[in-house]
Chains A and B, each alone.
Chain A
Amino acid sequence: MSFNTKKIKKNAFRITKDREVTALRIRVPGGHINAKYLSLIKEIADEYGNGTLHITTRQGFEVPGISFADFEEVNKKIAPILEGMEKEIGVKIADPREGYPAAGTRNVSACIGNRVCRYSNYDTTEMAQQIEKNIFPNDYHVKIALSGCPNDCIKGHLQDFGILGMVEPIYHQERCIGCKACVDNCHKRVTSALSFEQERVLRDEKRCIGCGECILQCPTNAWERGEQFFKVVIMGRTGKKNPRLAKPFLKWASRDVVIAIVNNVYDYIERHIDTSLAKEHIGYIVDRTGYPKFKEEILKGVELNSECEIADKINWNGYQTGEKI
């Protein structure tokens, strides 16, 4: 049998161990799914696959055991998912009956966010869906994850872009009862940004990571929930060569700035990607061009909010996997 594997892969199907058997990958932008789609996915698994489902690390579903011969039919079958979970949020899909138009840029994943979690500083799913709309479909390999707070439960530190929610805590001394719940908690669980002097709380802005814990701790709402900001950590990765945690790129960035820099990534990749490789990941491109070049290009045309801090230098250490342990 003859199949164009490139086309199949671009269509979000996998080339598997077994000849002529593929697996369908379903994106769940923002990691939150209307339960009604689960019955459709189940139907596909039962009818075309082997009745099992794999839950991916990127919060998608993979339906294994589908015959190559069925993939066009399966594409038609998943049209409601493309319609409801992609087109609905603004992703440009020419024909939802033809399956996913690209697979390079991965599902934009997100922690459960403030629809449920008390710690989250924003609606991660909603913002993930906005980013999905802006960058998908795209063939370049970019991984983005959004976390509601600096706890980073979604592991944004292992992504090309980890977007972590921050909030500016605003202190109202006239509402403070000096219980020090915020100060104690900041010392125990966060960065010791808070101290208590002359019967008032002081916040060291350099140490504060905008997690909002002080707001949550306060029994009198003396800490007001101020403006929403983001920390962006970049170029974390796993992989066979040089796994490493992402490092901070922006702190106190506005939502508009985050959206704008993510949009700019694709032009940067376009200019610098080594096309001789099958699919060069963005992290390796940054390794080659160096951080200053990346920074210059990704911030091009971006109007930074006044609070936004940018890393001067970034030194990703990670480790070389070839070294003796």
Chain B
Amino acid sequence: MGFNFSENGFNQLLESLNQDYQIYAPVRKKNKDSFSANDLITYDLIKSLEEIELTVKSKYSAKEIVFPIRETLFHFVEGEQFIASDTDDKYIIFLRPCDRNAFKRLDKIFLENGPEEDIYYKRLRENVKFFVIECTSGFDSCFCVSMESNTVEAEDYAAFLRFEENGVSCEVNDQDLAVEFSSQAEEIKFEPQFIEKNKVEVKLPDREKLTNEVFEHQLWTEYSQRCIACGRCNTSCPTCSCFTVKDVLYDENKKSGERFRRWAGCHIDGFTEMAGGHNFREDYGDRMRYKTMHKIYDFGERFDFDMCVGCGRCDDVCPEYISFSKCINKLSTIIEEGV
């Protein structure tokens, strides 16, 4: 079902949705990025259309809403464990097709990999409705088309929105929301559009030809010199899902505390360090190789699609100007030409 809203109309819709949902969208936080006087574009709660930042790619993805950077697993008091009870909060997340597809990757790990579902992820994920933002021109570093994550299927979203000069056109799939939409807008025909060509194109290496011989290639030693292991590529990535589990004791009472998890990144020191100090991937170039292979090969071997969605955030945030898309293309060339 397609609808057309005026700006006012859409704001009224948001207002009514806000009764039941916490609505997250990319926003602009004035002067809040790391460098002074730079704005931070990131996800936060919104109440109106004007707050949504559509002109610039967000530095972080919507991942942190469903997989919080730090999340309490349970509290303990005198050895007894208490899990925080589920909340009834429901969420609407505005995001582009690449980021919607990133959630498919997270779903694989948290809900399908291993013998059990991750209940912490699941209890948030179940309460999310996706509002996909139509994205037909992308940004400079995007390569979603190459990663086949430029499109979404109708079942992947509750609503699909086209932001126009004087309002919003959209399609609603979610029956629960259809009433809210239809009561405030005129019905139109709506056909979602997707970007068909990015400025950056990536050629994935031929899976058949990709052997471990390439692990020794000097391609990676270049990154040993360039990478500084800051982990920004991991934290900005919408599909990186690794975490570390830690305990803390509350200062007041040494008998109570919490076990929590927080994001981990394969580029950051300590990721493979075992108790006693042995480290399986000390070299930064090896970390780049490991991440690259995970994003464009290993994940795909385990599941049906590659992990990387081509959002290009890792390129945008790397302080050493390491480009992931460039790395993939270099790898493909090496494979084509023979290692």
Contacts and interface: CB of A to CB of B under 8 A. Distances in A.
Interface stretch (B80-88, B92-100, B245-253): B245-253
A225 B68 contact: no
Contacts of A122: 36-37
Interface of B: 31-37, 40, 42, 59-60, 68-70, 230-232, 234-235, 244, 246-249, 251, 260, 262-265, 268-269
Contacts of A175: 69-70
Interface size class of A (residues with CB under 8 A): 20 to 34
A177 B42 contact: no
Contact of B249 (A123, A181, A198): A198
Given A176-B70, A177-B265, A218 B246 contact: no
A228 B249 CA distance: 34
Nearest to A198: B248
Given A219-B230, A219-B232, A219-B235, A177 B263 contact: yes
A118 B36 CA distance: 8
Contacts of B234: 219
A228 B37 CA distance: 11
Contact of B246 (A167, A178, A212, A221): A178
A221 B262 contact: no
B68 A219 contact: no
A216 B230 CA distance: 11
A5 to B, nearest CB: 45
Given A174-B69, A175-B70, A177-B69, A221 B249 contact: no
Which 3 residue pairs of A and B lie closest in terms of their CB atoms, listed nearest first?
A: A114-B36, A219-B232, A198-B248
Contacts of B37: 114, 122-123
B256 to A, nearest CB: 12
A121 interface: yes
Given A167-B36, A221-B59, A224-B32, 19 more contacts: A120-B36, A121-B36, A123-B37, A177-B70, A177-B235, A177-B263, A179-B269, A198-B249, A199-B246, A199-B247, A200-B248, A217-B230, A220-B60, A221-B33, A221-B34, A225-B31, A225-B32, A225-B36, A228-B36
14 contacts: A114-B35, A118-B35, A176-B70, A179-B231, A198-B249, A199-B246, A199-B260, A216-B35, A219-B234, A220-B60, A221-B40, A221-B59, A222-B69, A225-B31
Contacts of A220: 60, 69, 235, 263
A248 to B, nearest CB: 22
Interface of A is mostly: loop
A16 interface: no
B73 to A, nearest CB: 13
Interface string A157-187: 0000000000100000111111101000000
Contacts of B230: 181, 217, 219
Interface string A191-225: 00000001110000000000010011111111011
Nearest to A149: B36
A64 B269 CA distance: 57
A221 B231 CA distance: 12
A149 B268 CA distance: 28
A179 B235 CA distance: 11
B249 to A, nearest CB: 7
Contacts of B235: 177, 219-220
Nearest to A174: B70
B134 to A, nearest CB: 28
A221 to B, nearest CB: 6
Nearest to A123: B37
B264 A177 contact: yes
A195 to B, nearest CB: 14
A118 B70 CA distance: 28
Interface string A94-131: 00000000000000000000100010111100000000
A218 B40 CA distance: 13
Contacts of A221: 32-34, 40, 42, 59-60
B148 to A, nearest CB: 28
Nearest to A122: B36
A179 B268 contact: yes
Contacts of A199: 246-248, 260
A219 B42 CA distance: 13
A70 to B, nearest CB: 43
A174 B70 CA distance: 5
Nearest to B250: A198
Contacts of B40: 221
Contacts of A179: 231, 265, 268-269
A231 to B, nearest CB: 15
B249 A173 contact: no
Contacts of B68: 174
A212 B36 contact: yes
A95 B232 CA distance: 55
A176 B262 contact: yes
Contacts of B263: 177, 220
A121 B260 CA distance: 34
A124 B249 CA distance: 44
A189 to B, nearest CB: 14
Contacts of A198: 248-249, 251
Contacts of A114: 35-37
A220 B64 CA distance: 11
Contacts of B264: 177
Contacts of B246: 178, 199
Interface hub of B36, B42, B248, B260 (most chain A Cβ within 10 A): B36
A233 B268 CA distance: 38
Give the most central of B34, B42, B230, B263: most A CB within 10 Å: B34
Contacts of B35: 114, 118, 216
Contact of A177 (B34, B247, B248, B262): B262
A41 B60 CA distance: 48
Nearest to A212: B36
Contacts of B249: 198
Contacts of A222: 69
A210 to B, nearest CB: 12
Contacts of A181: 230-231
